[in-house]
Amino acid sequence: MFAAYAQSFSTDDPVSGLATGERPEPEVPAGWTTVSVRATALNQHDLWSLRGVGLRPEQLPMILGCDAAGVDGDGNPVVVHSVISDPDWLGDETLDPARSLLSERYQGTFAERVAVPRRNLVPKPPALSFEEAACLPTAWLTAYRMLFTQAEVRPGSTVLVQGAGGGVATALITLGAAAGARMWVTSRTPAKAERTMSLGADAVFESGEKLPERVDAVMETVGAATWQHSIRSLRPGGTLVVSGATSGRVAETELARVFFLQLRILGSTMGTRDELARLATFCARSGVRPTIDRTIPLADVRDGFAAMAEGDLFGKIVVTP
């Protein structure tokens, strides 16, 4: 089958290690099934994989991709939950120390077919296209958990999102606004920040700009470039949720501010199968839909990787096999 896979690693030029071509059909262990992929989507995770983060050389070639919507062996339209936990693990799959994402231990979704545990399938709501549904399993699920599980955002909360055009950022803004939160957004690019007004953002700011008032919660995926601004933007007792560090993983934190203002700093990773099912229902019921920057054929996925590496996107890049 045709697939896009990592054949080597490069920190400086990750896209150079990407290859497309024929790969063997997926192996299907007991309790797993094969999904015919109708649509998948790009994530920064796929670029990290090409840099060798989370993969060892002996695992290459590895088919990339964490997201998939498609049709299972019984003909049911499904969305794939990408967090693969131990078969004996009970409860929140993201807390299983042995968990992995598709494309880390098991072959990923940038292919015509992918093998997944049956319990990782969530019904695709008919109201969502395969392209829209393919945006949910990574970026949108991460945003859902950050907002509603970790930060416990309520209607009327004020929430700052660092970054505007990214997959997680656009999901955070759209979901938070749909839930009645006042969403404030920063971006390096004023035009991208302005575009988030159409997603429901209430106000936009330049990266690092002082806010008119402190916020209940900050959503961080940018990392070093925005971390101090995030800490300074929280009201006493406010919550910072961090799920990514695109611009750098190490940042200074003024500890006195953390304890004196009783700030809560919470890490967040992906989400549970149950959260994915709730997210799909929320989208279907509310009319909320992922912002899709562009849809490209799998054969041209290199163009999508290049755009993501340069930050040249607004929303999700969807890929169809």
Residues that bind ligand NAP (CB under 6 A): 43-45, 48, 138-139, 142, 163-169, 187-189, 192, 207, 221-222, 225-226, 243-247, 269-270, 308, 311, 313
Instruction: Name the minimum Å distance from CB 52 to ligand NAP.
Output: 14
Instruction: Name the minimum Å distance from CB 208 to ligand NAP.
Output: 9
CB atoms closer than 10 angstroms to residue 53: 13
> Which stretches within the chain are classed as H helix?
44-50, 130-133, 141-144, 167-178, 190-195, 227-232, 255-260, 273-286, 301-309
Close Cβ partners of 292 (under 8 Å, ≥ 6 residues apart) = 131, 132, 135, 315, 316, 317, 318
Instruction: Name the minimum Å distance from CB 110 to ligand NAP.
Output: 15
Instruction: Name the minimum Å distance from CB 21 to ligand NAP.
Output: 25
Q: Which is nearer to ligand NAP, 72 or 220 (CB)?
A: 220
- Picking from 186, 165, 187, 49, the residue whose alpha carbon sits closest to that of residue 109 is 49
Instruction: Name the minimum Å distance from CB 215 to ligand NAP.
Output: 17
How would you classify the pairing of strands 18-22 and 62-63? unpaired
Q: Which is nearer to ligand NAP, 21 or 248 (CB)?
A: 248
Helix H or strand E segment including 310: none
Beta bridge partners of 297: 320
Q: Which is nearer to ligand NAP, 109 or 226 (CB)?
A: 226
Q: Which is nearer to ligand NAP, 125 or 165 (CB)?
A: 165
Instruction: Name the minimum Å distance from CB 206 to ligand NAP.
Output: 10
Instruction: Name the minimum Å distance from CB 303 to ligand NAP.
Output: 15
Instruction: Name the minimum Å distance from CB 167 to ligand NAP.
Output: 4
85-90: Cβ within 8 A, 24+ apart: 87/31, 87/117
- Ramachandran category for residue 104: left, alpha or beta (phi over 0 → left; psi -120 to 50 → alpha): alpha
Q: Which is nearer to ligand NAP, 107 or 221 (CB)?
A: 221
CA atoms of 34 and 114, how far apart (whole Å) = 6
* Tokens describing residue 117: 């545990």
**For residue 61, cis peptide bond before it (omega within 30 degrees of 0):** yes
* Tokens describing residue 100: 């992995």
Residue with tokens 């950022």: 169
Instruction: Name the minimum Å distance from CB 170 to ligand NAP.
Output: 8
Q: Which is nearer to ligand NAP, 107 or 246 (CB)?
A: 246
* Tokens describing residue 246: 């695109």
Q: Which is nearer to ligand NAP, 56 or 249 (CB)?
A: 249
Q: Which is nearer to ligand NAP, 80 or 168 (CB)?
A: 168
- Picking from 284, 249, 246, the residue whose alpha carbon sits closest to that of residue 164 is 246
Beta bridge partners of 320: 297
The amino acid sitting at 287 is: G
CA–centroid distance for 244 within its chain? 9
Q: Which is nearer to ligand NAP, 71 or 307 (CB)?
A: 307
The amino acid sitting at 41 is: A
